Structure 1
């Protein structure tokens, strides 16, 4: 008989694929709005509503870490977009530093888009 309660036999169920954002932090909403000013040049929807911003983490010293993805690894602006996101967040009063990391896991999918983005792009 297998001991199903032993987590060493496989991945722990309930572990999120995308770490949670610091949604309770007082600066979080301002950062979301800043991300909404950044657009993929080929898609007429901001990167936040496209679902490309996976995590916005803010520590007690107001250092910001952003995990984001792109619609495809071969995106022509792959090298530039993390800088655009950092430039959008850095001017927010109280922000100490911003680090933006491109991640590919989990891969971005159209199901990550907001309803507004799907409507704008004609998927609804």
Structure 2
């Protein structure tokens, strides 16, 4: 059980793991061990609520594919376990950012100064508009 936020929990079997070779510069004697961890999560077939699925699919992020999968590759460390934990932390942060409900803005009253400024700009716009009309 992976706890994303206080409202969202995911089963561990919903995340698919692949261990692949780390990309980058390499030579003859490079270690051929698969150390990079790749996390694959299918948004549409997950147990996430529909609201969170839609918010994830609409989110502009390079880790979310058009087919509705989240793919996170992590190769920060030489250890598979450390890379897996780092990829999982990135995944949790991504889903948690969608799971947060935006705060409602508290409407405020206009101050006397802001009202007078608004009226002044309105008058200035009206004056410039009138000048443009009579310009021939």
| TM-score scaled by length of structure 2 | 0.24
Relative to total residues, which structure has the larger helix share, 1 or 2? 2
Q: Which has the higher contact order (CA 8 A, sep 6+)?
A: 1
| TM-score scaled by length of structure 1 | 0.25
Compare CA radii of gyration and give the structure with the larger one: 2
